Structure 1
């Protein structure tokens, strides 16, 4: 039994997604990449609460740790029992812009009115346990939203969803585990904790956060005339869809097979320093498109 299967079984041993059994054969295992660095990624989760509610948030987080996430820890250094005036801008930058229902006005209002901040740290992850750990992180988010948190953000890629979208992603993960569909579980965790597309027309647009499921990020570059207008939102959504297609193929077929099929190149991640949370130790896949 490989480590991914052991991790899924361990995941199901606690609070988890309806406690379905994986004792029989599961679906195809999600592929993962070979690391190009000694750095191991981890989840950093940010939870906002109401005024004077840090103690309650900490109690909820410790309950989650005791139930199903004993390798997660509550951060004591940066959590605070008061509003952080950077949060409104931070969430505004980090809201997922791909899913049309990623957040609502009520989510923005909750961020603006928050009165406490809690950070939770996940364990360092090797590629073979990244999907399992990310599924646990997603469950942690849903648990906290059910127990006092009013907003949540994944700091490791800088992505935020509204309460409704976090729950939708959690339910998708629950369904994937129940049906033993580990490829869909990997995809759901990727949609939950990664951002795309980030960048510009000149340097290309990329994902950030695919290391959280054990894959390289994807960079799409394209040719545009000097007199051509900047890319539109619709064009950027096409880029996001292409990035997701490549990620799905890497998950399903493996990184080397996907690269060969796409005539793509894999290189080290030079976008971030090696000790930054967004740094991808599995590298960045570069794909050049002739046009959008």
Structure 2
């Protein structure tokens, strides 16, 4: 048995052993939210390849599906064996701006010089299967980057990381799965596939993509000392840190406990239509008038 096969089996074994048996937060099992909609979230993964590289990307994706990606499918209609002029702008918008090492110049160069595009769709997810399915999606990303892809992006929330950052996130997920620490696994998947902060100073800033780990998104409205100037990068990073803190707390304690503890509200997601991939069927937790 080769090292890749052993790694796949070890990772999947950790996911199976760590799978929660109920929605109650207990020990290392994360809480997940009750759905407020019939919509079921799913991953859309975008992979870029070299010139005339679609055949190689397809071969790698099909191998990944056969090894561990049950329920994942290739979107051949949306894929293309030529550059997509929209990709440079799309990745520029979607690069994670929170982690300081999220992407490098080499990652931007790879996007700029790509020659093929492949899309992969994940299966529709229930809240209780979201973390393990997202862990498989993260494994799918790493497999593709190891087998011909030169860049990757999570289309559902619109977030991209560079090759080194994707690998770092995958290694964190593998370690969490091996130690059966599903709280850590849920956090890593959230950092990999959710984007934050999205929004503006007037309406507030939020996460997008928490539904990929079975949680509501978090919206922060805030009060600033000088409301005549736009929020700074430092202030936006502070908002992102609070969004992550609340996400961690919801994972540990459950949504209802966080809503009660922080005296906040949980409401339907009205930011997106119900048939959009960014729509969160678990709702949005809103923290109002946070002082920066």
Q: TM range, normalised to the smaller chain?
A: over 0.9
Contact 2:17 2:180 in 1 (8 A): no
Query: Is 1:207–2:207 an aligned residue pair?
Result: yes
Alignment-derived partner of residue 254 in structure 2: 254
Offset of residue 72 of structure 1: 0.2
Output aligned runs, 1:1-292, within 5 Å.
15-17=9-11, 19-20=13-14, 27-224=27-224, 227-292=227-292
Q: SS where residue 71 of structure 1 aligns?
A: coil
Q: For the structure 1 residues 20 and 35, does the alpha-carbon distance in structure 2 shift closer, same or farther, using more than 3 Å as the test?
A: closer
Contact map agreement 1:13 1:19 (CA 8 A) in 2: no
Please report how far the alpha carbon of residue 194 of structure 1 lies from its aligned counterpart in structure 2 after TM superposition.
Answer: 0.3
Task: Encode CA deviations 1:30-89: one digit per residue, 9 max, x unaligned.
Answer: 100000011000000000000001001000000000000121000011100000000000
Corresponding residue number in structure 1 for 2:3? none
Q: Could you say if the C-alpha distance between residues 134 and 22 of structure 1 is closer, same or farther in structure 2, counting changes exceeding 3 Å? A: closer
Post-superposition offset of 1:291: 1.5
Aligned residues of 2:18 and 2:180 also touching (Cα < 8 A)? no
- Give ranges in structure 1 of 5+ residues lacking alignment: 1-11
Change (3 A) 1:46 1:274: same
Counterpart contact for 1:16–1:68, Cα < 8 Å: no
Alpha-carbon distance in structure 2 between the residues aligned to 1:189 and 1:103: 18
Structure 1 224/121 Cα, relative in aligned 2: closer, same or farther at 3 Å? same
- 26-35 or 43-52, which deviates more: 26-35
Q: Distance in 2 between matches of 1:25 and 1:202?
A: 40
Secondary structure in 2 aligned to 1:51?
Answer: coil
Following the alignment from structure 2 to structure 1, what is the Cα–Cα distance between the partners of residues 18 and 232?
A: 47
Please state how far the C-alpha of 1:270 moved relative to its aligned partner.
0.5
CA distance in structure 1 between the partners assigned to 2:279 and 2:180 by the alignment: 30
Q: After the TM superposition, which segments of 4 or more aligned residues of structure 1 sit over 4 Å from their partners?
A: 18-27
| Structure 1 pair 261–272 and aligned structure 2 pair: CA distance change class (3 A) | same
Q: Report the alpha carbon displacement of residue 95 of structure 1 after superposing the two structures with TM.
A: 0.1
C-alpha offsets along residues 179-216 of structure 1, whole Å, 9 cap, x if unaligned? 11110000000000000000011000000000000000
Structure 2: distance between partners of 1:264 and 1:30: 21
Structure 2 unpaired stretches of 5+: 1-5, 21-26
Q: How many residues align?
A: 281
Q: What is the distance in 1 between the residues matched to 2:224 and 2:82? A: 47
Whole-angstrom distance in 1 between the partners of 2:233 and 2:143? 33
Root-mean-square deviation over aligned CA pairs: 1.9
TM-score with structure 1 setting the length: 0.92
Deviation at 1:290, TM superposition (A): 3.9
Question: 1:22: how far off?
Answer: 6.8
1:15–1:67 contact (8 Å) kept in structure 2:
no
Displacement of 1:266: 0.5
Report if the CA contact (8 A) 2:18-2:177 is conserved: no
**C-alpha distance 154-25 of structure 1, shift in aligned 2 (>3 A):** closer
